[in-house]
Structure 1
Amino acid sequence: MAFGILEDNKLAHVPGTSLLDDGVLNSEGVNISNISEESAAHLKHATGKNSHIILIPQPSDDPNDPLNWSLLRRDCLFAIHSLGYVINVGVCGPILSAGTLVIANELNVTITDVAFLTGYQLLVIGAAGPFVSALSRVFGKRPQFIAASLFGLIGTIICCTANTYNVLLAGRIVQGLGNVAYESIVISVIGDLYCLHERGLRLAVFNFCFGGVNLFTSVIAGPITTRLGWRWLFYIDVIFVAIQAILMIFFSTETTYVRDAKFDIDVAGEELYDDIEKIGAAHVENPDKPESEQTEKALDATTIPQKKNYLQTIKPYHGRVSNENILRLVVRPFAVLSNPSVIWIVLAMSIPLAWIVNINYAMAQLYGVEPYNMDAEHLGYLAAGPFIGGFLASLFFFFVNDPMTLWISRKNRGVFEPEFKLPLGVAIGSACLTIGCFGYGNAYRDKLSAIVAAVMFGFVCAGSTSMAITASNYMIDAYRDLSVEIVIAAMSLKNFLFYGFSYFFNNWVASAGPDVVFDVLGGIALFTSLILSIPFYIYGKRIRSWWHRAQLLKRLKLA
């Protein structure tokens, strides 16, 4: 038992469990999953001060394998995709929140109608997500990202020209089509580009964009709405959407790479670990041969492809990456929910974010009237609280995630378990969510300063960001091969919740009072983030073993 995680007695090696640090193996003689010291020493390692870290997954010898690209190139690609998320999702979603009352008065509609401008957009995202997931599995991610950037640009242009509610709604729906790929499959790009020991800080950066930057939109949008009018939000936004589309088309490339399963030692079962042993054994038996020849012999590799040139890398379409049936792939995001751990990941990623949107729905309703009477500009300033909260949480995990992974793996004799990342993130996330939700509603009930509301909103965002980082870390480390489907399931649940709440949330706040409403939300957040996480920490390894042995997706002919 490693730190309370129950061992599995069914498999010699459980997918997700990885030998990360053979510096410990070499010093203590630890052996895992029948990998000898000599064989482990000849697997590919990181360089420099991290030379004791085994690369997980193992890069192939193909120069077009993203894991073989320079770190600078990978980080630039990650930055372009993250910018795509910020512009097409982070800005697009909450851009109208601070100006809810202004738009309602100008277009002669209700506050609920304005909420539908976001609600219907999110409904489109949730409904289209499974199809984008399936298309990315078959045709790669790049065509989906290019289409998303173009839809985002077209939708924003429509919003720029909107003079009626229906035209604005149409533009928001088209923008929703531009959101789908960036909200659903962009996080899997991290698994494409980085090895296990490199993912933590990138996930922290992405989740800051996911939970913090999008809330800063209201800080900027509020003053623009008050001083220039709400249409200027889209006049300015269209410039950045166009820039991101250009970057995606001309400076990005496909990150999906189909490498031999023997290299994927993080998702390998015991049957593939026999091959991993052979990879290292080939080096031991033939120490005088060049490393590339040894690896080629061990893997029965064919001729190494030539490195693609610039024009080849920016092609919109790089051919099919899978021959799987698209309609079956559409069902996969729902089929993976047969895994209990995946259910927790989906809840942990979606529920806290849904509560943030609920606060945005109610902000103008609560603080735009007596006794606060805040205009769009000052309502926007309230979003500074969640921005700071999300930033601080992201900054903490930015510096802690990867060092903590290495430290706790060394304490476990070099062996990494995905569950190791759960306790710290869950503790911080659940505490912040509970404080924020309970505090927000009760602060309004007691008519405390709006600054208190901003601080409580900050706690909610810090908790949401912590849970998103923790759940996405666990997802990529434990179920990297299912990461697209898991994110789709979480995104669909989150967006359907958003859409559903847009129908009744404002009326619920008005009838029950914000203290009662946010006490209920706080209780739900505490249960899903903390209480449910405990059994999945303890039994997580056994669930991973069961999932690998059960092969449910293959039985359902979905894999």
Structure 2
Amino acid sequence: MTLYKDEEAMNAYPTSTWDLELIPGTELMREEDSAFPHQKVLVPRPSSDPADPLTWSRKWKLSLAVIQVLYTVLIAATALSIPPMFPLLAAEFDLSEIQLSLLVGATVIVLGYANIIMIPCSNIFGRRAVCLASGVIICATCIWEALAKSYGSLIAARCVNGFATATSETIMVQVIADVFFLHERGTWMGIYFISMFGGVLIGPVIAGNICEKYGWRSYFWLSFGLGAASFLLILFGYPETKYRRSAQDFAGAAQRLSNATTLQETEKTSGTPPTKEISSESFSQQLPSPSPKSSPNPCSNPDNGHGHPSRQNYLLYPPPDPRWKSLLLRDVLTPLRLSIYPIVLFAALNVAGAANTLIFWNLTESAVLSAGPYFFSPSAVGYSNFAVLVGCFIGAATAGPFSDWVAARATRRNGGVREAEMRLPALIPFALVTAAAIVCGGVGYQDRWSWPLVLVFGYGLTGICVASVPGICIAYAVDCYKPVSGEIMVVATVFKNSIGFGMSWWIFPMAAKVGWVNTAMVDFGLTMGPLLLAIPVYIWGKKLRRRTKDSGVHEWEAQI
């Protein structure tokens, strides 16, 4: 199946193949071997090993993706669903608004920094083992929360719960990179973000109804059941997807041409006239030799699309990687290194901006909607999250496919050469929606708009934002630095959750002093500022990638 419907456009090379600048993030989305004309290239390149997750059948890929989505929803619901309980918790423990906000903020900050540990563990023990361990800890902390007798005990349990639920913010990003190809990632990144935020949004709906009828402790007993369900889903339904492949298999087609390009440049410098066309025989001789498990062309691999997990993928106690010391050191230090890469920083700030707009409404919904003129009950406060959830579904249904379409269209116009920045114009409509969400929500709070207007234009449009902007930006960063997809998400969650923790301290004091509009404008700056950075990144992104093309992170896939 060809990616390009316009064969004439596809054949219109903007430059000779030999003139391509072969840097990470630039991909040749067709084979240059004349034996496979106009063949869509699969990036990363699948091996001939049926245990390679890239070769698994569509049924297996979809089933494990559904398992990961359900897992993410369930554990996210256990962590950040307590705002509808705030009135009941305040009455029982005599808490201020800041103390109530810290029940969310403390969880958020631990959740963010815990991923510095989760990613090394997932690379040493595997994704499956880390998810199983976190499921056990989640169950234990839910019991602790349900039995808490003091505010100190409850907030300590919330911190440990945040540590365990950190897997909801990174593991699925690794799974997407393990299982899906480059041209599929935009869609699946969108699905991932809607599952993560969907759990955050569905949880309060359930929590509001449960605590109103049966007390706040009952929700934590329900959370215990959700944690147990997530454990069983992983135990019986999720095979290990961590797979060690060679760096060459991981490289795109453009990068696999580098040896041939070097040879061509050598001919030019030695005075030998360069040739624009070469035979398939001589071309194949110039390409690097494939690894033992590699297939020279994805379509020649009979196992591609027909592979499946083996018993080894379901081990309960997998042996740790023998190189665990070097992996641990590398994965702990890598997020620090990546945080100074402009493209990763751009993606992280945009994840933080969109997600913290959601946290802004999440922290304030109970205080605003339970007061006049709304007087919402805890269950009604919970139901208000349906507005954000509907927006999330709209964002997920449009952002991923739209960004993939925008990138594919630009690739076709560029003669089959994809630049990572081709995905970024898809942010334009969602940036406008984001701006409208924050302005409408802030003005609605301040002027006490009718609650349907606040929910639709403030909460609903925010849902579209959080399901679209982070997915597009993270997909862009992963396109540029594929071997460190999990570490990219660590940087994003640290930024996001650090800012979110700070919000739990300043939102209510600032709103009391200067009003909701000015408070919302601070969030507007934190969100729209990073989005505007998409303009210089789109223009100079390739130059930024060129500056890091020799970074060791591009070779690390072979170490995992």
Shorter-chain TM-score range: 0.7 to 0.9
In 2, the alpha carbon distance for the partners of 1:237 and 1:267 equals 46
**CA positional deviation for 1:407:** 3.1
1:134 and 2:120 correspond = yes
Contact residue 83 and residue 204 of structure 2 kept, 8 A: yes
Q: 1:267 to 1:363 in 2, by over 3 A?
A: farther
TM-score, L = length of structure 1:
0.84
In 1, the alpha carbon distance for the partners of 2:65 and 2:329 equals 29
Amino acid at match of 2:47: S
Equivalent residue for 2:274? none
Equivalent residue for 2:300? none
1:82 and 2:82 correspond = no
- Which structure 2 residues correspond to residues 41-440 of structure 1 after superposition, within 5 A? 41=37, 52-89=39-76, 91-266=77-252, 269=255, 274=260, 284-285=280-281, 298-301=289-292, 309-310=310-311, 313-320=314-321, 322=323, 324-424=326-426, 426-440=427-441
Contact residue 441 and residue 454 of structure 2 kept, 8 A: yes
Q: 1:321 to 1:62 in 2, by over 3 A?
A: farther
SS of the aligned residue for 1:488 comes to helix
Equivalent residue for 1:525? 527
Equivalent residue for 1:25? none
- Which structure 2 residues correspond to residues 435-446 of structure 1 after superposition, within 5 A? 435-446=436-447
SS of the aligned residue for 1:549 comes to coil
In 2, the alpha carbon distance for the partners of 1:299 and 1:366 equals 62
In 2, the alpha carbon distance for the partners of 1:120 and 1:94 equals 10
**CA positional deviation for 1:435:** 0.7
Equivalent residue for 2:271? none
Q: Which of residues 25, 32, 49 is equivalent to 1:16?
A: 25
Unaligned runs of 5+ in 1: 23-35, 42-50
In 2, the alpha carbon distance for the partners of 1:482 and 1:387 equals 30
Note the alpha carbon deviations across 1:174-219, whole angstroms, 9 max, x for none.
Answer: 2112112221232121011011122232222112113344223222
Contact residue 478 and residue 488 of structure 2 kept, 8 A: no
Q: 1:408 to 1:552 in 2, by over 3 A?
A: closer
**CA positional deviation for 1:264:** 1.4
- Select between 199-208 and 53-62 the one with higher mean Cα deviation: 199-208
Q: 1:468 to 1:267 in 2, by over 3 A?
A: farther
Q: 1:267 to 1:223 in 2, by over 3 A?
A: farther
Amino acid at match of 2:176: I
Note the alpha carbon deviations across 1:362-406, whole angstroms, 9 max, x for none.
Answer: 122222223322221221122122111111111113543444443
Amino acid at match of 1:13: L
Equivalent residue for 1:29? none
Amino acid at match of 1:88: I
**CA positional deviation for 1:39:** 6.2
Note the alpha carbon deviations across 1:30-54, whole angstroms, 9 max, x for none.
Answer: xxxxxx442664xxxxxxxxx9421
**CA positional deviation for 1:542:** 1.7
Contact residue 428 and residue 463 of structure 1 kept, 8 A: no
Q: CA RMSD in A?
A: 3.4
SS of the aligned residue for 2:80 comes to coil
Equivalent residue for 2:270? none
In 1, the alpha carbon distance for the partners of 2:258 and 2:243 equals 19
In 2, the alpha carbon distance for the partners of 1:537 and 1:376 equals 45
Contact residue 187 and residue 400 of structure 2 kept, 8 A: yes
Contact residue 249 and residue 314 of structure 1 kept, 8 A: no
Note the alpha carbon deviations across 1:92-118, whole angstroms, 9 max, x for none.
Answer: 233111221121112222222222222
In 2, the alpha carbon distance for the partners of 1:390 and 1:200 equals 15
In 2, the alpha carbon distance for the partners of 1:339 and 1:499 equals 24
Contact residue 145 and residue 220 of structure 2 kept, 8 A: yes
Contact residue 137 and residue 321 of structure 1 kept, 8 A: no
In 2, the alpha carbon distance for the partners of 1:181 and 1:249 equals 15
Q: 1:197 to 1:302 in 2, by over 3 A?
A: closer
Amino acid at match of 2:422: F
In 2, the alpha carbon distance for the partners of 1:273 and 1:143 equals 39
Q: 1:458 to 1:329 in 2, by over 3 A?
A: same
Amino acid at match of 1:70: S
**CA positional deviation for 1:259:** 0.8
Q: 1:315 to 1:271 in 2, by over 3 A?
A: farther
Q: Which of residues 28, 35, 38 is equivalent to 2:34?
A: 38
**CA positional deviation for 1:440:** 0.9
Contact residue 429 and residue 463 of structure 1 kept, 8 A: yes
Contact residue 209 and residue 379 of structure 2 kept, 8 A: yes
Amino acid at match of 2:541: G
SS of the aligned residue for 1:98 comes to helix
**CA positional deviation for 1:137:** 3.1
**CA positional deviation for 1:540:** 1.1
Q: 1:472 to 1:216 in 2, by over 3 A?
A: same
Contact residue 113 and residue 493 of structure 2 kept, 8 A: no
SS of the aligned residue for 1:62 comes to coil
SS of the aligned residue for 2:481 comes to helix
Structure 1 runs (4+) greater than 4 angstroms displaced: 267-277, 283-287, 302-308, 550-554
In 2, the alpha carbon distance for the partners of 1:59 and 1:511 equals 58
Q: 1:267 to 1:359 in 2, by over 3 A?
A: farther
Note the alpha carbon deviations across 1:330-365, whole angstroms, 9 max, x for none.
Answer: 121011122111110110111210121122111222
**CA positional deviation for 1:532:** 0.8
Q: 1:378 to 1:370 in 2, by over 3 A?
A: same
Equivalent residue for 1:536? 537
In 2, the alpha carbon distance for the partners of 1:553 and 1:261 equals 8
SS of the aligned residue for 1:416 comes to strand
1:547 and 2:548 correspond = yes
**CA positional deviation for 1:251:** 2.4
Q: 1:166 to 1:492 in 2, by over 3 A?
A: same
Contact residue 146 and residue 221 of structure 2 kept, 8 A: yes
In 2, the alpha carbon distance for the partners of 1:401 and 1:553 equals 24
- Which structure 2 residues correspond to residues 464-503 of structure 1 after superposition, within 5 A? 464-503=466-505
In 1, the alpha carbon distance for the partners of 2:35 and 2:156 equals 59
Contact residue 334 and residue 487 of structure 2 kept, 8 A: yes
Amino acid at match of 1:357: I
In 1, the alpha carbon distance for the partners of 2:261 and 2:138 equals 45
In 1, the alpha carbon distance for the partners of 2:90 and 2:418 equals 53
